[in-house]
Amino acid sequence: MRENFLKYCWIFVEYLIFFFSPVGWLVAGVGIMISFDWLTGVVAADKRGEKIISGGFFRTFIKFVMYAIGITSTRMLEIMLQGKIEIPFASLLAGFIFVIEYKSVMENISKATGIDVWQFVKDKLVSIKK
């Protein structure tokens, strides 16, 4: 009986992997951006003289879990609407999250270096144009 239970559990796990594989790369990409945000946030906090505590890492982990749940839930919405509407909701949500995390990374870099990254890029582009 135990062998049958394990067999069915493994079939269920395989199905979940198959079902969510289209959004795996989205979750991984968002995870990488969250990692960059965390790393640059730690550097920026250190630069400001703030104490680095484990609670910050825990909040980052919870943020990743919530984003992953959102993306996978959106994948289920795509499946339910399949044939009725063809909009890549999971990709759109992941792109939105990616932009938010990118903006946060740029802000953290600006705080860590003391240089406004956006203004620096703008000045460089203007100097190239001239």
Q: Is the pLDDT confidence value at 103 over 80?
A: yes
Amino acid 100: pLDDT: 94
Which one has a higher pLDDT value, 49 or 129?
A: 49
Q: Is 74 inside any structural domain?
A: yes
Do the beta carbons of residue 77 and residue 89 sit within 8 Å?
yes
123 in a domain, yes or no? yes
The answer to whether position 1 is within a domain reads: no
Q: Would you say residue 54 lies in a domain?
A: yes
Q: What pLDDT sits at residue 40?
A: 92
Is 115 within a domain?
Answer: yes
Q: Kindly report the three-state secondary structure assignment for every residue of 70-110.
A: HHHHHHHHHHHCCCCCCCCHHHHHHHHHHHHHHHHHHHHHH
CA distance to 75, 101, 102, 119, 129, per residue, from 122 (Å)? 37, 21, 17, 5, 11
Domains contained in the chain, number: 1
Contact 110, 117 (CB under 8 A): yes
What global pTM score does this model have?
A: 0.77
Per-residue pLDDT tens digits for 46-86: 888 888 777 778 899 999 999 999 999 998 898 888 888 88
Domain extent at residue 55: 24-129
